[in-house]
């Protein structure tokens, strides 16, 4: 081999080694973090938060009726806002109206019984008064037993 060929071969080997080192070094290098550029200027800062969760009320109120019965009309739906005193629902009044009528009938009957008891008391009081007057006028006409019976009847009528 001639001197010239040796030089070319040696120079080519050196170039090959340099190229191999360069390729190897560039392959090992990590890619950098991608950076976004913006021009500086004045703008409004907007903060937005995206999150998931559960909404809970400050105050929870369970509404229930004092009485039970069949609901005939509902004026609001679940989740609606309501105000104090607002009509919410209507319960079938049939049972309660029947109970009211029975109570009114019982009251009328009791009032009639009271009127009758007063009349009986007044009658027994008058009978006792007459019996006492007759006994004073003629002791032989009314016996002691009859007077005691009139007094007992008057006491019973007064107690009722």
Burial tier of 75 (Cβ tally within 10 Å: 0-12, 13-18, 19+): exposed
The rounded mean pLDDT for the chain is 86
Give the lowest-confidence range in 40-49, 81-90, 116-125: 40-49
- Judge whether residue 31 has pLDDT over 70: no
- Judge whether residue 109 has pLDDT over 90: yes
pLDDT of residue 135: 83
- Judge whether residue 130 has pLDDT over 70: yes
Higher pLDDT, 39 or 27: 39
Most confident listed range (49-53, 115-119, 144-148): 115-119
């Amino acid at each position: 081999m001639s001197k010239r060929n040796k030089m070319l071969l040696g120079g080519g080997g050196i170039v090959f080694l340099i190229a191999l080192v360069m390729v190897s070094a560039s392959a090992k290098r990590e890619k950098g973090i991608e950076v976004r550029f913006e021009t500086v200027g004045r703008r409004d800062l907007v903060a937005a938060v995206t999150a998931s969760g559960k909404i809970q009320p400050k105050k929870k109120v369970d509404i229930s009726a004092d009485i039970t019965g069949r609901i005939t009309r509902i004026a609001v739906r679940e989740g609606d806002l309501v105000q104090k005193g607002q009509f919410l629902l209507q319960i079938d009044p049939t049972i309660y109206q029947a109970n009211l009528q029975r109570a009114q009938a019982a009251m009328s009957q009791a009032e009639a019984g009271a009127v009758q008891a007063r009349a009986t008391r007044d009658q027994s009081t008058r009978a006792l008064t007459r019996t006492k007057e007759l006994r004073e006028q003629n002791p032989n006409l009314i016996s002691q037993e009859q007077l005691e019976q009139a007094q007992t009847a008057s006491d019973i009528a007064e107690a009722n």
